[in-house]
């Protein structure tokens, strides 16, 4: 999707649901679910699925459950469960019911026995290796297992003993009996249950067997009365199995599975496995590092729930995999913050300016509007003194062409204040500029200078009243649009992805900033007070996004 395309959410799923509701299918009810596996933190791709599932239900006054797909106890943890709940709530959604696939372990077990009784499932005692070999390939059909014709009685007995913990991991599996010659490999007698003698956070040591995802998912959907089971495209080939299981069991509810494309976002990666690796290998400071594509990281970076929902709406829902440009995401937050964020002045790389023709104790208080287009945002006091700081790149001893900021002997306006003229440059032994000595034109407060044009306007902060702050600049975490193309995870990381500036000076009003408050630093960008590290004794701001689109070249 390119930036110039009109912003309109195409949503084929909405059209399907519209038709179903109009036709009175499922009594006109719409019930969806968001089914994360609690094996990591949610990322922006999950936000797409959350917005779709909750949004679809919300549109029809339906229900959407949050269901933890907790069938793989080895990889799952309560830390993730709590984080996922918090992320969904933070995004602005309320689940109708909180469920766990493990709530259905008893029913799933009974249903499996039902399949055995119908001779639609059997216990296979082949090794994992043998099962793999017998599965065949895309071009070769599979071979039936020697255990495929076990009697119903024997299968029921073995399955019960698997449950009771009589066997070791891998000794037996329960498989559906479908079609070893099917063109769809998922239909070649897929595994329904495997032995796993592990403790489960919710069911403890009750189970020695755990159901597989494909079997669990459709049954869970049916039990919850889900009408539309929305999932990503990689499950398209699993749909026949989804339907097969529900057909055999003749569940009263048979949800319709509909697949949509996953989100892929340039310069980042949305795979839990890889995201975990970034954290574990120490490439980032943690799950909530502001460079991370996790919801919690984006929150810390300064993204808002509204901006993420806006993003999900803008990218739409399709059946085609496509990469989304980072600019699309950034535009969403920039648009919101441009409308809403109060303006402040901050100097990231200070040089001192002394206005030599003002008395030592000069002090003037200006009242600055918090927002240029919104009077209701009010104003704040900004003190002006003899010594102020300006940003190092607002001065050039040898200016490039068309440079409109401060130059030796030149004039510039200090934003909302006087026009000043650079009379003298003071440097250290290494030639680095330490201080600029300027004079001011007292007739220029709120007025144009007489008889000459001064084009440049720069921001500043009083040296006497300014507050020391740390400012963290963030850039894309990866150097390539598709980071998987890099030689290794490490090679792909942008060494400039985090730049910490620890000697910034910000205007006094920012001392009152509260954590997670957003600001525009005039002429610089949009920033948020860090959720964790910011305090009035040591303000810390994270750059959410630059003022302008830096991707448009």
The nearest distance, CB 223 to ligand ATP, in angstroms, is 17
What would the two tokens of residue 314 be? 């803008």
User: Residue numbers of the site for ligand ATP (CB under 6 A)?
Assistant: 35-37, 39, 45-46, 48-49, 231-232, 262-263, 270-273
The nearest distance, CB 274 to ligand ATP, in angstroms, is 8
Return the number of the residue (121 or 298) whose C-beta is nearest ligand ATP.
Answer: 298
Return the number of the residue (46 or 163) whose C-beta is nearest ligand ATP.
Answer: 46
Instruction: Say which of 135, 161, 194, 262 is annotated catalytic.
Output: 262
Tokens 């889900």 — which residue? 226
The nearest distance, CB 407 to ligand ATP, in angstroms, is 50
Strand arrangement of the beta sheet that strand 467-474 belongs to: 343-344, 518-521, 525-529, 540-546, 467-474, 498-506, 346-347
Of the candidates 506, 463, 452, 468, the one whose C-alpha atom is nearest the C-alpha of residue 358 is 463
Structural contact between residues 420 and 456, judged by C-beta atoms closer than 8 angstroms: no
Return the number of the residue (148 or 262) whose C-beta is nearest ligand ATP.
Answer: 262
Structural contact between residues 252 and 225, judged by C-beta atoms closer than 8 angstroms: no
Instruction: Say which of 63, 67, 177, 272 is annotated catalytic.
Output: 272
Report the interhelical angle of 239-249 vs 213-223 (nearest 10°): 60
Q: Is 206 a catalytic residue?
A: no
Of the candidates 524, 544, 470, the one whose C-alpha atom is nearest the C-alpha of residue 344 is 524
Q: Is 447 a catalytic residue?
A: no
Return the number of the residue (43 or 440) whose C-beta is nearest ligand ATP.
Answer: 43
Structural contact between residues 44 and 270, judged by C-beta atoms closer than 8 angstroms: yes
Return the number of the residue (76 or 394) whose C-beta is nearest ligand ATP.
Answer: 76
Q: What span, in angstroms and rounded, lies between the C-alpha atoms of 393 and 350?
A: 9
Phi, psi dihedrals of residue 511, rounded to the nearest 5°: -65, -25
Return the number of the residue (175 or 272) whose C-beta is nearest ligand ATP.
Answer: 272
Tokens 């890889």 — which residue? 274
Return the number of the residue (162 or 231) whose C-beta is nearest ligand ATP.
Answer: 231
The nearest distance, CB 232 to ligand ATP, in angstroms, is 4
Tokens 């007698």 — which residue? 189
The nearest distance, CB 238 to ligand ATP, in angstroms, is 11
The nearest distance, CB 552 to ligand ATP, in angstroms, is 25
The nearest distance, CB 100 to ligand ATP, in angstroms, is 13
Return the number of the residue (236 or 247) whose C-beta is nearest ligand ATP.
Answer: 236
Q: What span, in angstroms and rounded, lies between the C-alpha atoms of 80 and 84?
A: 6
Q: What span, in angstroms and rounded, lies between the C-alpha atoms of 413 and 72?
A: 64
Q: Is 37 a catalytic residue?
A: yes
DSSP structural state of residue 396: -
The nearest distance, CB 214 to ligand ATP, in angstroms, is 13
Of the candidates 517, 103, 46, 552, the one whose C-alpha atom is nearest the C-alpha of residue 312 is 46
Q: What span, in angstroms and rounded, lies between the C-alpha atoms of 487 and 502?
A: 33
Residue nearest to ligand ATP as judged by C-beta position = 45
Phi, psi dihedrals of residue 438, rounded to the nearest 5°: -125, 165
Structural contact between residues 346 and 461, judged by C-beta atoms closer than 8 angstroms: yes
Instruction: Say which of 25, 37, 59, 343 is annotated catalytic.
Output: 37
Neighbours of 164 (CB within 10 A): 10
Active site residues: 37, 262, 272
């Amino acid at each position: 999707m390119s930036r110039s395309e009109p912003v309109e959410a195409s949503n084929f799923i909405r059209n399907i649901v519209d038709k179903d509701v109009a036709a009175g299918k499922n009594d006109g009810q719409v019930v969806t679910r968001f089914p994360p596996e609690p094996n990591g933190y949610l990322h922006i791709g999950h936000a797409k699925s959350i917005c779709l599932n909750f949004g679809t239900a919300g549109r029809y006054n339906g229900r959407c459950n949050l269901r933890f797909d907790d069938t793989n106890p080895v990889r799952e943890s309560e830390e993730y469960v709590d984080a996922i709940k918090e992320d969904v709530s933070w995004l602005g959604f309320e689940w109708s019911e909180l469920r766990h696939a493990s709530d259905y372990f008893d029913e799933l077990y009974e249903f499996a026995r039902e399949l055995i009784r119908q001779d639609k499932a059997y216990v296979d005692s082949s090794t994992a290796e043998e099962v793999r070999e017998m599965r065949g390939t895309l071009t070769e059909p599979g071979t039936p297992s020697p255990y495929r014709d076990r009697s119903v009685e024997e299968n029921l007995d073995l399955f019960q003993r698997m449950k009771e913990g009589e066997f070791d991991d891998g000794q037996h599996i329960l498989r559906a009996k479908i079609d070893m010659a099917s063109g769809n490999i998922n239909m070649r007698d897929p595994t329904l249950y495997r032995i796993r003698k592990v403790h489960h956070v919710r069911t403890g040591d009750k189970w020695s067997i755990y159901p597989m995802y494909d079997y669990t998912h459709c049954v869970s959907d049916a039990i919850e009365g889900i009408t539309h089971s929305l999932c990503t495209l990689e499950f398209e080939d699993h749909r026949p199995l989804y339907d097969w299981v529900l057909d055999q069991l003749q569940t009263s509810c048979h949800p319709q599975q509909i697949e949509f494309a996953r989100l892929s976002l340039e310069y980042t990666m949305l795979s839990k496995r890889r995201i975990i690796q970034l954290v574990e290998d120490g490439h980032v400071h943690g799950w909530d590092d502001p460079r991370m594509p996790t919801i919690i990281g984006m929150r810390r970076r300064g993204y808002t729930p509204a901006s993420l929902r806006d993003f999900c709406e803008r990218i739409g829902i399709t059946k085609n995999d496509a990469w989304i440009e980072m600019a699309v995401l950034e535009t969403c937050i920039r648009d919101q913050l441009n409308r809403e964020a109060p303006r402040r002045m901050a100097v990231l790389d200070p040089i001192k300016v002394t206005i030599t023709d003002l008395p030592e104790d000069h002090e003037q208080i200006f009242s600055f509007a918090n927002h240029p287009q919104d009077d209701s945002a009010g104003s704040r006091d900004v003190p002006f003194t003899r010594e102020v700081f300006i940003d190092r790149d607002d001065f050039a001893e040898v200016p490039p062409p068309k440079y409109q900021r401060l130059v030796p002997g030149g004039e510039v306006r200090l934003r909302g204040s006087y026009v000043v003229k650079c009379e003298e440059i003071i440097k250290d032994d290494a030639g680095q500029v330490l201080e600029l000595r300027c004079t001011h034109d007292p007739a220029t407060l709120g007025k144009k200078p007489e008889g000459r044009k001064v084009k440049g306007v720069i921001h500043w902060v009083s040296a006497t009243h300014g507050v020391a702050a740390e400012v963290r600049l963030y850039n894309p975490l990866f150097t390539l649009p598709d980071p998987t193309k890099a030689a290794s995870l490490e090679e792909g990381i942008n060494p400039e992805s985090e730049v910490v500036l620890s000697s910034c000076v910000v205007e006094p009003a920012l001392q009152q900033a509260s954590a997670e408050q957003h600001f525009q630093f005039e002429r610089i960008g949009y920033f948020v007070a860090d959720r964790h590290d910011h305090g009035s004794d040591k303000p810390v701001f994270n750059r959410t996004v630059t003022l302008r689109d830096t991707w448009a070249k």
